[in-house]
Amino acid sequence: MTDTLVNVENVSKKFCRNLKRSLWYGVKDVGTEMIGRGSERTELRAQEFWAVKDVSFQLKRGETLGLIGHNGAGKTTMLRMLNGLIKPDTGRIVVRGRIQALIALGAGFNPVLTGRENIYVNASVLGIPKAEIDRRFDQIVDFSGIEEFIDTPVQSYSSGMTVRLGFSIAAHLEPDILLVDEVLAVGDLAFKTKCQVRIQELRDTGVAIILVSHNLHTISHVCSRAITFEKGHVLYDGDTERAIDVYRNSLIKANKGLEDSLRAGTGEIKIQRLEILDEYEGIQEECGVGDYVKLRVHYEALEPVVNPVFNVTMHVLNSHQVTGIRTDVDGVELGTLEGTGHVDIVIPNLNLLPNIYTMDAVIFHSDGFTFYDRVNKAANLRVTGGLQVNGTAYLPHVWANEAGGNGRIPPITSPQPELAQIETVK
């Protein structure tokens, strides 16, 4: 028995941006195939684009493959081709074994049927005998956690309940290949944890899994391998952490040129640039956890400006804000600024966890609300090293064992954080 369950060879798929034209192309393509002419269509017609282009990979038994990339990069299109929902325009897909997919919220559910009835319908489509479904029914319902609603029509379920039932069915019918697309983004933390544990159990029993998610922490902890997509092409196929780095680099490139998108203000003083410096004042784009970092905001005051407020915020790239540093919050008054100069924020120990962070710079009026100028995504910083744990920051800590036992607690050398300092040069 072969260990390769999925073999994708030079697969491409194109779509049309215009619905009417797309329907017309579909009619022509069906007619072409019916008269026995070549079915592979390699040329783009008006308003067509490649959603997936020349993609090849293999998936072996027991392997968990993550697909990551921007929205519209081709990940879900690839899953739909693997599941047989759409056919590729070029290339070949060979799938060995029974495949189960959870690609879209509630996909495959009949909304007027109850949860119980949908379990039997989904399983029977896969050719599983009723007796076998009866044996697994309690496991499916118990895992989903919606026992009291199992005899309620699915159309009355919330999105979280629908995902719970869908994932539970997919994960307990013992497929050879499981396709999961973003469903772990819905539901509470406890259920997400159950799903990750179940995926690991399936992987250990030899099930091949393809997981699409924008949660890079999930991809990192669940997947043994990952593929980074960009505009339908494969940028990288291999080690999961390296694939995540490639994805983050592509995000940085995509964000370049967007810094002026919200640049509006009264304009008496302008931000020239934001630099990230090391302890020797060399410009850097990467540092280690706990390193010295200096943020330098260069400005040009077109006229004298009295006591402006400087603000730098840090975000996880394309995600939530981590922190913000403001002169007024820190009780710093800069006086009157004229001409060109810079303001420094010195951070002796940058205790951010490994990730890529983006920084916005804003100069407010002294009221702290109206702004002179702002630059979104003014700089990016990659933080490396440290422990691979979830979150955004380290908290200095020590361990203590007051309940007895024979464990060993090593000495903790986690540095105590020093306060950031703000300096100005006029």
Question: pLDDT-based confidence at 414, cuts 50/70/90?
Answer: very low
Residue 204 has pLDDT above 70, yes or no: yes
Distances (CA, A) of 124 to 117, 129, 130: 11, 7, 7
| Across 407-414, average pLDDT | 49
| Across 75-95, average pLDDT | 91
| Across 151-179, average pLDDT | 86
Q: Which of 39-43, 129-133, 334-338, 351-355 shows the lowest per-residue confidence on average (mean pLDDT)?
A: 39-43
The rounded distance, in Å, linking the Cα atoms of 295 and 343 is: 8
Taking CA 86 as the corner, what is the angle to CA 81 and CA 92, rounded to the nearest 5 degrees? Answer: 50
- Ordered DSSP codes for 301-322: EEEEEESPEEEEEEEETTS-EE
Judge if pTM exceeds 0.75.
no
Tokens (6 digits) for 194 = 């159950």
| Across 296-319, average pLDDT | 92
The rounded distance, in Å, linking the Cα atoms of 177 and 206 is: 9
The rounded distance, in Å, linking the Cα atoms of 280 and 245 is: 27
| Across 90-110, average pLDDT | 80
Query: What pLDDT does residue 66 have?
Result: 94
Query: 67 pairs with which residues across the strands?
Result: 212, 227
Q: How far apart are the first and last CA of the chain?
A: 74
Q: Which residue has the higher pLDDT, 63 or 399?
A: 63
The answer to whether 318 touches 251, Cβ cutoff 8 Å, is yes
Q: Which residue has the higher pLDDT, 390 or 138?
A: 138
Tokens (6 digits) for 248 = 């983050």
Query: What pLDDT does residue 104 have?
Result: 62
Q: What's the whole-number average pLDDT of the chain?
A: 84
The answer to whether 310 touches 269, Cβ cutoff 8 Å, is no
Question: pLDDT-based confidence at 184, cuts 50/70/90?
Answer: low
Domains of the chain: 4-254 (3.40.50.300), 269-398+413-425 (2.70.50.60)
Q: Which residue has the higher pLDDT, 204 or 425?
A: 204
Question: pLDDT-based confidence at 310, cuts 50/70/90?
Answer: very high
| Across 95-112, average pLDDT | 78
Tokens (6 digits) for 227 = 């593929």
The answer to whether 211 touches 219, Cβ cutoff 8 Å, is yes
Residue 412 has pLDDT above 50, yes or no: no
Q: Which residue has the higher pLDDT, 311 or 396?
A: 311
Q: What percent of the chain lies above the pLDDT cut of 70?
A: 86
Query: What pLDDT does residue 23 have?
Result: 83
The runs of H, that is alpha helices, within 5-114 are 19-34, 75-82
Q: Which of 319-328, 339-348, 405-414 shows the lowest per-residue confidence on average (mean pLDDT)?
A: 405-414
pLDDT tens profile 251-306: 777 766 555 555 678 999 999 999 999 999 999 989 998 899 999 999 999 999 99
pLDDT tens profile 342-372: 999 999 999 898 888 999 999 999 988 899 9
Query: What pLDDT does residue 263 have?
Result: 67
Query: What pLDDT does residue 417 have?
Result: 47
